[in-house]
Amino acid sequence: MAQPCGLYGRWVRVCAPALLLILLAACSTPAPQPLIFGAAPWSDGEVSAYRVTDVNGAYAGTARYDLIQMDEATWSLRRETSAQGTQEIVVVDMSEGEYRPSLATMVRIDSRGTEQVRTTYSGSEANLELTSKQNITTYQRVSIPSDARDQRSLVMLVRALPLAAGYATRINSFLPIVPILDRVTLDVRGQEEVQVPAGTFETWKVRLDTGDSETLLWVGVDAPHPVVKYVDGRNRGAYELIEFQPGP
């Protein structure tokens, strides 16, 4: 049988396999769908408590999320973390349905003192009031997309998306502390059974990709879709559910 020769033959042997890998990678990445949230799967008074371990798997502390309905139009998400000598309390007020933030506060306490960041969201602006451990207050105004969500709320907001095999979407995310604005690509990596201290759950494995970090979440398939586990893409801490109270 005649064999490919010359430049053409070399292209077949070298380039064709590479092209096949590229095509396979493209096919494995689902096309993002428009960002559409559903009704809140959580209820007023819901509590999720987590055990936190560091990148080496050593115990680092605890975290707790509370969801409180302020009124018919507003939810308040409260996250309290105590890990490695630092206590951090974050509260994000956000709209019903769209979950866009209106006000967020962060208080961080360690052996050196207390610092605070208060963020007021207004359309395409975020107004930051930063108070240092030396009790010095500065102000900053940052332009953001009008559809940006507060980064600290994303772990819970994923639960309100129509997660399914092959689902993907994109979310604008803002972290006031630095500040950092990310265009996050979210995609469902498959279905997995996960065992954590709170029990064994059938979950969707979800990836949040910012381009320079990847956060992985395991979200319960069954309502109210608790976040069973997640691994933070930036600090590499792992959060495993130890208690879930769905609210009254």
Whole-number Å distance between alpha carbons of 131 and 152: 19
pLDDT digits (tens, 9 = 90+) for 149-165: 999 999 999 999 999 99
The residues spanned by each domain of the chain are 46-245
Residue 131 gets the label, from left (phi > 0), alpha (psi -120 to 50) or beta, of beta
- Per-residue pLDDT at 248: 80
- Per-residue pLDDT at 138: 97
- From residue 95, alpha-carbon distances to 37, 62, 70, 123, 248 in Å are 12, 27, 10, 13, 21
Between 15 and 133, name the one with better pLDDT: 133
- Per-residue pLDDT at 110: 96
- Per-residue pLDDT at 174: 98
pLDDT digits (tens, 9 = 90+) for 193-222: 999 999 999 999 999 999 999 999 999 999
Residues 6+ apart with CB under 8 A from 159: 41, 42, 219, 224, 225, 226, 227
- Per-residue pLDDT at 29: 62
CB 25 within 8 A of CB 161: no
Whole-number Å distance between alpha carbons of 183 and 219: 21
Whole-number Å distance between alpha carbons of 44 and 59: 30
Say if residue 229's pLDDT is above 90.
yes
- Per-residue pLDDT at 56: 93
Say if residue 32's pLDDT is above 70.
yes
Say if residue 14's pLDDT is above 70.
no
CB 198 within 8 A of CB 47: no
- Per-residue pLDDT at 28: 60
Q: How confident is the model at residue 11 (pLDDT cuts 50, 70, 90)?
A: very low
- Per-residue pLDDT at 82: 97
Q: How confident is the model at residue 177 (pLDDT cuts 50, 70, 90)?
A: confident
Closest among 194, 248, 243, 242 to 222, alpha carbons compared: 194
Average pLDDT across the chain, whole number: 90
53: tokens are 């371990």
Whole-number Å distance between alpha carbons of 143 and 247: 37
Q: Which helix (H) or strand (E) holds 15?
A: helix 6-28
- Per-residue pLDDT at 20: 44
pLDDT digits (tens, 9 = 90+) for 113-149: 999 999 999 999 999 999 999 999 999 999 999 999 9
Whole-number Å distance between alpha carbons of 117 and 81: 16
pLDDT, average across residues 96-114? 97
Whole-number Å distance between alpha carbons of 194 and 164: 17
Query: What 3-state class would DSSP assign to 165?
Result: coil
CB 192 within 8 A of CB 162: no
Q: How confident is the model at residue 178 (pLDDT cuts 50, 70, 90)?
A: confident
Residues 6+ apart with CB under 8 A from 21: none
185: tokens are 């690509």
pLDDT, average across residues 42-57? 96
Whole-number Å distance between alpha carbons of 160 and 183: 19
